[in-house]
Structure 1
């Protein structure tokens, strides 16, 4: 178990009511003015921007309308993850209101890899394609764009990824490109596709319903692509969640029922942990076209079949993932426990899940992690990496770029391919670099737990839980607040603190000695029994977590969900 440092943000003792708790949380997020607070908490946010502020938008809109009017063949080309799937579905749904000459293309993960590829472009040309619109990819596809033009096709790139020094020679919609004055740079790929639809709707004075009908897709992608849930993303997600919870999209509604969420209010958490992984699963281990078909189909029998397929794919993905995780954990424990930078060969684990495995290993050991697997090419490994808070994995990998066949990524994650014979050298160099980081900053490898506010048990009420709902949806950039309760004196007997089939969960009841607060609190820690045992079954604990209203069999009770606990205070 790795070390965790607790830190209360802007410690303030004068937090005495629900309103001051909420304002303290928002202040921690940098939201201070009355106007900002009102917008952030509003159920009908207004923070959105004119799509024509995106560089090249007018030219892109006119070109697409020209191809629509001339009844030419338009192809949407996207990635195989939820963002790409949602982006393709959005433009297929929206543009189908104006033309029947629409098709889409999604590359196969194992055979073609991410982004535009020359074989796919040639295939689209053979099938009569005249205009390609990329979604969620294309910003660095210089060679592929040139090929499309040589073959007599037009191509428009819509994307949100970083651009390189050499830019494709075509019209590009990307807020990160030079001289683009769009105020918000952090939309996902589907968010960019939505802004394109918004601009076309304005230009053609089409019904606004065409836009509201696709907000559910924007919500799916915004959560699943882990973009910051702030500013315009927050606006789009709030309206998108409302759309999902009143879903008219047959396939999405059927999947929600199939995964046991029929009577639930769908939240960002449900998208991130349940719905999104099912859409991702088809692209990870099969063909992502199944997910697009599900989102676009109005045929009940087809939808039923596709839902079964996605559920099956996700079960298979989980099994492959868990097997790969066990292989990697065993190797870490046996060979690499002292390494600061984990580089692990997963022995042929399906490449569609190695990114997830890298994230899980990172979380278990709190170290930057690379997981590799054999590619279809003999002697070549494909890899995926995930990093910890204080280490920029892209910059560290860049120092080793002479070892890679292909490499890309950002601060938190990366992907690469490498000759198998060079893996040990990569591990050696990354560990030397990690040691230098640790020598400069010993805290770099210690997980920081940021605590928003200190609470007394008596402050954890239904009123507070309702007020906290206004800060949702939670996610990157708008993380769930964490609270600390100090010196809870555990009342239940040693044997009754554990629950679950194998006693793996923790349930503590008690009052706070620190505040002389006589309000009894129930604190639940899923999977945290081992943590409690490891610190010696203390009878007085500080706990960090989040309050929740537990409803069961018509009864309600307030619980505190434990994220971490310690015997002594910070």
Structure 2
């Protein structure tokens, strides 16, 4: 296992408690998250949060809305141009679903991943012009597309960029909706692309005095994108997500409802886990393996037979994606172990792995070695590599790649993820320079390369109750920026070691049973660590007493319920 540091935040209960109706442990967690007054706590925990902002606080919103409304009223041809990931697909669906209520002269375009790559491209713009477009609205892309935007203008089209990615020093010459613009006063900067599209719809709804139900009908799709694009689940994102999850649980959108049913989620309250690990990957798979249009069509379609066919297609694509991904991941692990194990910044050639899965592989390699990671593969053009990157906490991968911008044909992204294209013969130079940069970062801040687990409180075994779990549910939905809180159970005296600690089909999972020697209550604890049996047996040598960090849950099986502590990390006690 990778090296971890436990940042134990608990101060043995010295926090000033803020309100009697909020559980003390929940209050500690919120205070550690920077939520320090009662009203802010109540807003965070509320099932009906109210934190949202006037769309017209966003720079250029008024001008953008006026341009779109004018095109609607004049019956002109409007094209939505998006990306091929879930955020792009959802963004297109949101604007198509909303704007169709006001105009029928509405179209959309998604580039093919392999042939066209991310973002605007000149051939697509020329093709859109030939089809009679008057206005292009980008969603989830365009912030760095200076040349492409100018081409659209030169061809006589108006173009509006809506995006959430970082902007370059030179920006496109058009109206831009992006809260990351330096002089934008919008209070929240971390909406996903679909969140920006929703704020645009909100601005148009206000201007045209249209029914608010037009906006409420979009929240299921906004929730899908907000989770899948891994933006922080705080502030306005949290508000949009909470209402969106309710909309998804009681889904009325025919295509999404059909997919939920096929994936055996119909009887469940939809959570961020369902979106992140089940629903989102199915929408992503079509854009990764085939054509992302299938995802848009599923979100917009109402015909039952067409929906069935689209769902079959997404499920097939996702199965294919998993197979390709697993093969590519194994290949990249072998290459790291053989050639790059000492590197601080991993740059790995995946040897022709389908470019649709290299982003996922980059994330998994990053997690496995806890190092910033770029995975590259052969592009559509000979000698051109396509790459995708994922970063670790404390390193802005976009800024690190920006220092190497002279090497790229094209690159973009944000703090945690990036995409790029590069000539093959420049790859070794990129690897060398990124590792030099990473070395300097480590010399100045060595803790960046050690995975930190924030431990919010130490729990007594007697505190592991259903009541605590119910209180912790109020902090959900969990995700980036609102990570599931981790707790410490210390001095667990294991009574099933060394035999009996391994379980599962291949004996890969860890199961510990015992009591804590630290507390007098002597309540037995059962702790489960997925994939940790080998580490516990071979690395820790089956210690008699351990400290474990994790999160409690209720395990239900065959009508029997018991409390389990799900282990994130385990160490010998007194270490």
- Which TM-score band applies after superposition, normalised by the shorter structure? over 0.9
Of 96, 113, 121, the residue aligned with 2:100 is 96
Which string of whole-angstrom CA distances, capped at 9 and with x for unpartnered residues, describes residues 306-350 of structure 1?
111101111111111111111111111122222222221111001
Deviation at 1:490, TM superposition (A): 1.3
Cα root mean square deviation, aligned: 1.7
User: In structure 2, how many angstroms separate the alpha carbons of the residues matched to 1:68 and 1:403?
Assistant: 43
1:45 Cα deviation after fit: 0.4
Q: 2:28 matched to which residue of 1? A: 24
Whole-Å separation in 1 of the counterparts to 2:170 and 2:384:
27
For residue 545 of structure 2, what is the aligned residue in structure 1? Answer: 540
* Deviation at residue 27 of structure 1 after TM alignment: 0.4
**Aligned equivalents of 1:167, 1:398: Cα separation in 2:** 15
Label 1:508 to 1:293 Cα distance change in 2 as closer, same or farther (>3 A).
same
The alpha carbon displacement at 1:38 in A equals 0.6
The match for 1:183 among 187, 191, 195 is 187
2:561 is matched with: 556
| 1:273 CA drift (Å) | 1.2
Aligned in 2, Cα 1:391/1:181: closer, same or farther, shift over 3 Å?
closer
1:436 matches 2:440: yes
**Conservation of the 8 A alpha-carbon contact between 2:10 and 2:455:** no
Larger mean CA deviation between 395-404 and 95-104 belongs to 395-404
Helix, strand or coil: the match of 1:371? Answer: strand
5+ residue gaps, structure 1: none
Offset at 1:388? Answer: 1.8
Cα deviation, residue 286, structure 1 = 0.7
Give the drift of 1:220. 0.6
Tell me by how many angstroms 1:85 deviates: 0.5
Q: How many residues align?
A: 570
- Asked whether 1:85 is paired with 2:93, we answer no
8 A Cα contact 1:10 1:28, kept in partner = no
Moved over 6 A (4+): 15-18
- Structure 1 residue 10 displacement after superposition: 4.8
Counterpart-to-counterpart distance in 1, 2:340 and 2:540? 25
Report deviation, 1:565. Answer: 0.5
User: Deviation string for 1:112-144 (max 9, x for gaps)?
Assistant: 111111111111111111111111112222222
SS of the aligned residue for 1:518 comes to coil
Contact 1:6 1:449 in 2 (8 A): yes
The more displaced of 167-176 and 449-458 is 167-176
Unaligned 5+ runs, structure 2: none
For the residue of structure 2 that corresponds to 1:294, the secondary structure is: helix
Name the counterpart of 2:399: 395
1:470 aligns to what SS in structure 2? helix
Identify which of 556, 561, 565 aligns with 2:570.
Answer: 565
Check whether the contact 1:505–1:525 (CA below 8 A) recurs between aligned residues.
yes
Bigger shift: residues 372-381 or 285-294? 372-381
Residue aligning to 1:8: 8
The answer to whether the 8 A contact 1:82-1:276 is kept is: yes
Offset at residue 148 of structure 1 (A): 1.5
Deviation sequence 1:2-35 (CA, Å, 0-9, x none): 2111111252345999811000000000001010
**Partner residue in 2 for 1:463:** 467
2:389 to 381, 385, 392: 385
- For residues 387 and 4 of structure 1, the distance between their equivalents in structure 2, rounded to whole angstroms, comes to 17
The 8 Å contact of residues 382 and 418 in structure 1, kept in 2 or not, is answered as: yes
Instruction: Tell me if 1:416 matches 2:425.
Output: no
> Within 1, Cα distance between the matches of 2:72 and 2:415?
40
> What's the TM-score, normalizing by structure 1?
0.97
User: Shift in Å at residue 211 of structure 1?
Assistant: 0.8
Residue 486 of structure 1 contacts residue 569 of structure 1 at CA under 8 Å; is this kept in 2? no
DSSP-derived class of the 2:28 partner? helix
Quick one: structure 1 residues 53 and 434, their matched pair in 2 at CA, closer, same or farther if it must change by over 3 Å? closer
Stretch deviating more after TM superposition (434-443 or 461-470): 434-443
Say if 1:346 and 1:372, in contact at 8 Å, map to a contact too.
yes
Rounded Cα–Cα distance in structure 2 between residues aligned with 1:326 and 1:468: 37
Deviates more, 1:402-411 or 1:52-61: 402-411
